[in-house]
Homo-oligomer: A and B are copies of this chain.
C-alpha cells in the first residue's frame, strides 16, 4: 500500500515548535506536506481569502529536513485550501492542524485558526483533526506529537475501512505533562466557557479615546465528560465535532412561537 499523504498546517506560523514536533512525528506515519501561515494568525477564525492573491513559497524546516513545506500569506483555512487544491502535489488523505500553543476548548473553536484549518478540510471532504497543547511549564510538544501520530494512524485506518463515510473531524487537547508521565484519554463533548470580558477605556497621547477588550481570562466549567473537564483531570481530550450549527431541538418550538400573531 502506498504511504498516505498528510497535510499539516497551523495558526502559529510555519516555524512554530508545535508544528515542527508534529511533522517529526507524522513523517513516521505517511508522506507529510506542510502549508502553513508565514506569521501568527491566532484568533482569526474561519477566514477564506477569495478577493486577494495568495503567495506560497517553499521553505526549509531545519528540524525536519526533506519535508516539503510552504509558507503562505493566507490564513490557516487558506493554507489548507491551497494544499488540498493542488499545492500538496498529490491527493491528501488526512489534514492535521497544530500543535497549537494553548488549549482550544468550548466556544474557542469559533475563534480558533487551528480549528478553522481542520474544519476547512472537513468541508472539502477530507478527514482532519486539530490538536492543541494546554501549554504550561513543560512545553511538552513531543508527547502531544506522539499522540497525534497514533491518532493519525487510527483515523487513516478508520477511513480506509469506511470510505464513503462523512469525514471525521476531531478536536484534540493535550495536557502539558512531563514526558515520562502516563496520560489518560477521554472522548468528550465541548464544555462551557465563562467569559468575563470587560471594556477598558484609555486616552491616547492626542487625547482620543480608545478601547481594549480586557477583563479576566475566560474560565471553563470543569464538567465531567467535557474537554475542559478532561484537561482539568490531566487527561487528553478528543471531541468529535461537526459543522452543522442547526439547533435541531428548537425547530419545532420556533415554529410555534414565530407563527403566533402579534
Q: Quick check: A240 and B250 within 8 Å, CB to CB?
A: yes
Chain A 169-203 near chain B by CB (<8 Å), digits 1 or 0 = 11100000000000001011110010101110010
A87 interface hit (Cβ, 8 Å) = yes
> Once bound together, how far apart are the Cα atoms of A237 and B248, in whole Å?
15
Chain B's closest residue to A252 (CB) is: B187
Q: Please report the C-alpha to C-alpha distance between residue A45 and residue B120 in the assembled complex, in whole angstroms.
A: 12
Partner of A211, one of B82, B109, B199: B82
* Total copies of the chain: 2
Residues of A77-122 at the interface with B, using a CB-CB cut-off of 8 Å, are: 78, 81-82, 85-87, 107, 109-111, 116, 119
A31 at interface, CB cutoff 8 A: no
Residue A251 at the chain B interface, CB threshold 8 Å = yes
What interface size band does chain A fall in? Answer: 35 or more
Across the two chains, which residue of chain B brings its CB closest to A56? B211
Q: Which residue of B109, B208, B210, B248 is within 8 Å of A245 (Cβ)?
A: B109
- Note all chain B residues with C-beta closer than 8 A to A109: 245
Find out whether the CB atom of B56 lies under 8 angstroms from the CB atom of A86. Answer: no
When A and B form their complex, which 4 residue pairs have the shortest distance between CB atoms, in order from nearest? A45-B45, A85-B199, A45-B46, A240-B250
Q: A240-B254, A254-B187 are in contact. Are A153 and B202 (CB under 8 A)?
A: no
Contact of B116 with A213 in the complex, beta carbons under 8 Å: no
Closest to A256 in B: B187
Establish whether residues A254 and B85, one from each chain, have CB atoms under 8 Å apart when the complex forms.
Answer: no
A124-B195, A199-B82 in contact; A242/B238 too (CB < 8 A)? no
Q: Which residues of B contact A259 (CB under 8 A)?
A: 185
Contact yes or no, B240 A195, CB < 8 A: no
Within 8 A of B (CB), among A32-57: 43-51, 53-56
